[in-house]
Every structure is written in structure tokens, then in C-alpha cells.
Amino acid sequence: MPRVLVLNGPNLNLLGTRRPDLYGRTTLAEIEKRLHALGEELGLAVEVRQSNHEGTLVDWIQEARGTADALVINAAAYTHTSVAIRDALEVFEGPVVEVHLSNIFAREPFRHRSHVSPVATGVICGFGPLGYELALRALAARLAPRQAGGGR
Ligand code: DQA
């Protein structure tokens, strides 16, 4: 079964209570539960992690080489600042989906630049928690084209 590691960056542990106007009221634990259920449906082994620390995220991306087939990453504020996360993602061999709950292009100009996008297979933003589910579906199609009816 293909393994997908879903990484979440700083402040995403506060989902549900942090700026619900922007990010909604769904908690990260609820998102995790949904992703596990969807993973079962799609035949993917899903693991969800969150850290407020850049180096921890870099360690997890490095560790994913050989232990995960694909990554989903919402690097949160580090999206806009972290060359280290970009460099780590660049050497991961499998597909990488960048997710943001909010539409970063409709927000402040400093959020319009992503260091992750140039090394991502695809980007999903603006659909709230659904974005993570869309990312899993995209990966299922990519990792097992015949079962999921996908392809590239
Ligand atoms: C975010 C967007 C980022 O700009 C912000 O720093 C976040 C969350 C999102 O999911 O919309 O923390 O990645």
C-alpha cells in the first residue's frame, strides 16, 4: 500500500480556534481523522504530523526518503520563508502536493511567494480542509493510476 506523509507547519496545531474566518473551525485532529478514513478508501497508508519547528519539518522530509511514497505539505508560514524546507523537498523522489487552507494569492503580497511551489508536483489552495482530501485523491490517481482511473 503506498504511504503518504502529510506534514503541517507552524500554528496549524491551532486550527479550529485560529482565525476561523480564514481557516474555518475544523481542527487538525478532525482533518487527520478524515484523511485516515479517505486513505482507507483509496488504499493509501496515511500519516499526519505537525510541527512548529522548521528543523523538525526538514528532518521529517529527509526521513520520508525511503519511508514514504508521497508527501502532502502545508508548510504554513515557512512556505514563504524556508529555503531549507524547499531544499529538503527537492531531494524527495516521490510526488509532493502543496496545500494551503486559504487562497494565499488573495491575501497579503508576502504570502504570494512560495518556496515550496517550484519543487511541488501540484498546489491546492483556497478550499479549506477539503484541500488535504483533494491532495490525497490526486496522489491516489498518480500512485496507482489503474485503480484510481487517473494517470498524471
Ligand atoms: C497557510 C497560509 C500561510 O500563509 C499561513 O502562514 C499559514 C496557513 C494556509 O493553510 O492557508 O499558517 O499555509
User: What is the tens place of the pLDDT at every residue in 2-56?
Assistant: 999 999 999 999 999 999 999 999 999 999 999 999 999 999 999 999 999 999 9
Instruction: Tally Cβ neighbours within 10 Å of residue 60.
Output: 19
In this prediction, residue 148 carries a pLDDT of 46
- Burial degree of 48 (CB within 10 A; 0-12, 13-18, 19+): buried
Cα(76) to centroid(ligand 1), Å? 4
Nearest-CA residue for ligand 1 atom 12 is 76
DSSP secondary structure letter of residue 65: B
Q: Which residues, at least 6 apart from 34, have a Cβ–Cβ distance to it below 8 Å? A: 129, 132, 133
Say yes or no to pLDDT of 124 above 50. yes
Cα(72) to centroid(ligand 1), Å? 14
Around ligand 1, the residues with Cβ closer than 6 Å are: 11, 74, 76-77, 79, 100-102, 104, 111
Q: For residues 38 and 125, what is the distance between their CA atoms, to the nearest angstrom?
A: 19
Which atom of ligand 1 lies closest to the CA of 111? 4
Q: Is the dihedral of CA 50, 54, 91, 59 positive or negative?
A: negative
Residue with cell 522530509: 61
Percent residues over pLDDT 90 in the chain: 93
Which atom of ligand 1 lies closest to the CA of 103? 11
Q: C-alpha cell of 104?
A: 494565499
Give residue 145's pLDDT band: very low, low, confident or very high (50, 70, 90): low
Closest by alpha carbon to 41, among 79, 72, 1? Answer: 1
What sections of 24-102 are H helices per DSSP?
28-42, 54-64, 83-90
Catalytic residue list: 23, 100
Helix (H, G, I), strand (E, B) or coil at 102: coil
Considering the entire predicted model, what is its pTM?
0.94
CATH of domain 3-147: 3.40.50.9100
How many Å is the maximal CA-CA distance in the chain?
41
